[in-house]
Amino acid sequence: MAEEGAARRVLILVVDEDDDVGRKTGWETPITGRDRNFLAAKDLLLADPEEADANAMFAAVKLYDELSRKGDSVVEIATVSGKPGGGLESDRKLSQEIERVIAEFPADESIVVTDGPLSESVSAIITSRVKVTSVRKLVVKQNPSIETTWILLGKYFRTALFESEYARVMLGIPGTFLLAIGVLFYYNLLTPATFLILIGIALAVRGFGIDTAVASFFRKLQTVPARPALYQVRVYVGISSAILIVVALVAGINSVTAYIAQNFPPPSAGAQDPVFWAQRMPLLAGVMLLSSVDLLVISATISLLYDLFYQIYLRSVRVVRSATALVFLVFLWALLRALGSYLVRGEEIYITQMILIVIMGIASLATMYILLSAVGLGFLRRGRAAGEGEAG
């Protein structure tokens, strides 16, 4: 930070996320200094007169001159770049170049100049390394004539057709979708209603970023073999628990469907009456609960056992929380089983069972908490102290 009364050190940072300046001119980034940025921007315009990054660099040079004339700050200008296509490697390159620039010119603040909106990852990289006081998004003015509009449309059309980075999105995905729709229509496997459902699913997946989340999950999954053993166990436990939850829900739905088919066949009186089904909702909820609660509890138990093991491994006082959670889960399982049986059979004996389970659960949890707090925590603290003593 600049001392009070001292000139501020301002960094004007031009961000070229896809490395147009490097690919089209041969300049290596980071490019620091006014003159070098001016020459690189000129070379980029000569290589591609329509390149917006060159205009961003010229705008940064103009801003540099304006701030320098004021004389109240020490100004530096730098252009950094990522890699074509973005992604992790591009972010790493940007991060390394920004760190090099800051090492040469420790700035108190920065002004970011770009030819368009920055991605969230790039914004996070910049703000984590230097204070950003302003972001300038340069918009190149266009001739509003009809002829220019058609020229621009033609340019974008050629880009979508012949540049693989854009063709995959603009042509590949819609082409695959239309091919699948055509095949389904040809074999009479698709109705208009199903078609609308598929369109809705595709829009929802893209709109809520589900495809991005799934892709990110699988990318992280590929790094698991290189991670520590405890991390691998945690990933395995998480996936196993998720699978068991899905299986439990499917088993519950199947049980409800089979129960309805057996006890309420279509000719049943009132089978089409909403009131008829509303009156039987508790019964059907009990059937689903009895069919799925075992697997749901097993899924939760696997996660809690891993957490208990991890806390013991760390000799953490949180082991008490994990142990009591396991006991709580046992009584919750018994309580839910009794509730499901009551909803299905309607016998009052199950109400008595639920009351007894609640009382026993409270007493057991309180007793266990007291014992673990008095005995277990002391053992853990002694173990941790012994470990620290050996380390010392």
Does residue 163 belong to any structural domain of this protein?
A: yes
Residue 203 shares a structural domain with residue 82: no
Calpha distance 135→113 (Å, rounded): 6
Does residue 259 belong to any structural domain of this protein?
A: yes
Calpha distance 198→213 (Å, rounded): 20
Residue 257 shares a structural domain with residue 332: yes
Q: Which residues of 335-361 are buried (b: 16+ CB within 10 A; e: fewer)?
A: bbbbbbbbbbeeeeebeebbeebeeeb
Smallest CA-to-CA distance from 377 within 331, 329, 316 is with 316
Smallest CA-to-CA distance from 31 within 68, 61, 1 is with 61
Does residue 84 belong to any structural domain of this protein?
A: yes
pLDDT at 1: 47
CA distances from 370 to 283, 321, 329, 363, 364 (A): 40, 12, 18, 11, 10
Domain coverage including residue 149 = 144-186
Write the CATH number for 17. Answer: 3.40.50
User: Which of residues 104, 137, 170 is at a domain's end?
Assistant: 137
Check: CB of residue 94 under 8 Å from CB of residue 128.
no
Helix, strand, coil % over all residues of the chain, rounded to 5:
70, 10, 20
Structure tokens that stand for 168 in this block: 């995959």
Residue 258 shares a structural domain with residue 377: yes
Residue 329 shares a structural domain with residue 376: yes
pLDDT at 391: 47
Does residue 355 belong to any structural domain of this protein?
A: yes
Residue 62 shares a structural domain with residue 28: yes
Does residue 230 belong to any structural domain of this protein?
A: yes
Smallest CA-to-CA distance from 338 within 324, 325, 356 is with 356
Residue 148 shares a structural domain with residue 285: no
Residue 13 shares a structural domain with residue 44: yes
Smallest CA-to-CA distance from 93 within 37, 41, 38, 28 is with 28
Residue 236 shares a structural domain with residue 373: yes
Calpha distance 369→271 (Å, rounded): 51
- How confident is the prediction along the chain (392 residues), in pLDDT tens digits per residue? 455 456 788 999 998 888 888 888 889 888 999 999 999 999 988 988 878 888 889 999 999 999 888 888 899 999 998 888 777 888 888 999 999 999 999 888 999 988 777 777 888 888 888 888 888 876 555 555 554 566 667 777 777 677 666 777 777 778 888 888 888 888 887 777 777 887 888 888 878 888 888 888 888 888 878 888 888 888 889 889 999 999 999 999 999 988 888 887 665 555 567 777 788 888 999 999 999 999 999 999 999 998 888 887 777 767 778 888 888 999 999 999 999 999 988 888 989 999 999 999 899 888 877 877 666 555 555 555 555 544 44
Count how many domains the chain has.
4
CA distances from 189 to 177, 180, 184 (A): 15, 11, 5
Residue 232 shares a structural domain with residue 339: yes
Structure tokens that stand for 324 in this block: 């009591």
Cα dihedral 46→48→51→56 (10° resolution): -20
Does residue 3 belong to any structural domain of this protein?
A: no
User: Which of residues 172, 204, 220 is at a domain's end?
Assistant: 220
Does residue 341 belong to any structural domain of this protein?
A: yes
**Other C-beta atoms within 10 Å of 331: how many?**
16
Residue 331 shares a structural domain with residue 372: yes
Check: CB of residue 102 under 8 Å from CB of residue 131.
no
Q: What is the CA radius of gyration of the chain?
A: 32
Residue 257 shares a structural domain with residue 322: yes
Residue 333 shares a structural domain with residue 369: yes
Longest dimension (CA), the chain: 90
User: Which of residues 129, 161, 186 is at a domain's end?
Assistant: 186
Structure tokens that stand for 67 in this block: 């701030």
pLDDT at 244: 93
Does residue 38 belong to any structural domain of this protein?
A: yes
